[in-house]
Structure 1
Amino acid sequence: MNVQRVSTGGVWEKKVGYCRALRTGNFVFVSGTAPVKDGQVVAPGNAYLQARRCFEIVKESLEKLDCPLSAVVRTRMFVTDVSRWEEYGRAHQEFFGDFPPTTAMLGIGSLVDPEMMIEVEVDAIVG
């Protein structure tokens, strides 16, 4: 079975031993994606901008696997403050509003870095 993997070069990928995204056949899976750029957490305290950054990374990773956003069938948002659901949801809608996938938003206690407010996972089916 042919497997394609994408790495963003994030510090956790190498330390933990995972890739950002993987495609096997028509199935594409994106690992938990945090709001990071150049090794730093983006927009501490800003739920909307952190969510946007996660979806930007997801989109870039999918593109490397020839997978459009319209092929996404499921998203999962793990958030540290679920009361800010509208901010996370606004970013989600901006990326997926034209072809809505199934989704879940789960309130959790914390993420790897205390400045992170959201982490996103995505599944897609191409073709």
Structure 2
Amino acid sequence: MRQNVGTGSPWEGVVGYSRAVRVGDAVHVAGTTAIRDGRVVAPGDAYTQARVALEIVVEALAECGASPADVVRTRMYVTDIRDWEAVGRAHGEVFSDVRPASTMVQVSALIDPDLLVEIEAEAVVGSVTDEVTPP
């Protein structure tokens, strides 16, 4: 069974995407930026933008019956790799105990020039165990 989760954005129908999609136990959250109420949050502040994007990711996971503890993979896109530490710190605040496989890459631009970071996530519902094995 497939569950699509939308935001109500008019672009979803035009572009043909969903905020998140759950198929079976797998949840895929689309690239998420720090846009709330149609506005970019905290222009110039990569840390705050990452936190807001992660809040939106967590909201989408919840709509699909998942939690941050179910996340197995994240991808972070930054417009300036020098922001890696600020973005990484925000990511660590959400996922430090989960420690999903993760990638961060620099891209030339995002959809709005005020956006500094975009984050994707993949989760497997029920993948949570009592113990997280350290690497």
* TM-score past 0.5 threshold: yes
What are the Cα deviations for residues 46-81 of structure 1, in whole angstroms up to 9, with x where unaligned?
000000010000000000111011110000001001
| Distance in 1 separating the partners of 2:7 and 2:55 | 12
Cα separation, partners in 2 of 1:11 and 1:116, compared to 1, 3 Å: farther
Contact (CA 8 Å) 1:48, 1:91: kept in 2 or not?
yes
- Give the SS at the match of 1:98: coil
Which residue number in structure 2 is paired with residue 12 of structure 1?
Answer: 11
With structure 2 as the length reference, what TM-score do the two structures score? Answer: 0.90
Partner residue of 2:47? 48
Q: How many residues align?
A: 126
Distance 2:32 2:10 in 1: 12
For residue 102 of structure 1, what is the aligned residue in structure 2?
A: 101
Which structure 2 residues correspond to residues 23-62 of structure 1 after superposition, within 5 A? Answer: 23-62=22-61
Identity of aligned residues (%): 49
Aligned equivalent of 2:20: 21
Quote the offset at 1:5 in angstroms.
1.0
| CA RMSD between the two structures | 0.9
How far apart are the structure 2 equivalents of 1:101 and 1:28? 14
| Runs of 4+ more than 4 Å apart | none
Instruction: Give, in whole Å, the separation in 2 of the partners of 1:85 and 1:125.
Output: 26
Task: Name the CA distance, whole Å, in 2 between partners of 1:52 and 1:38.
Answer: 16
Which structure has the bigger radius of gyration? 2
Gapped regions of structure 2 (runs ≥ 5): 127-135
Structure 1 regions of 5+ residues with no counterpart?
none
- Alpha-carbon offset, residue 11 of structure 1: 4.0
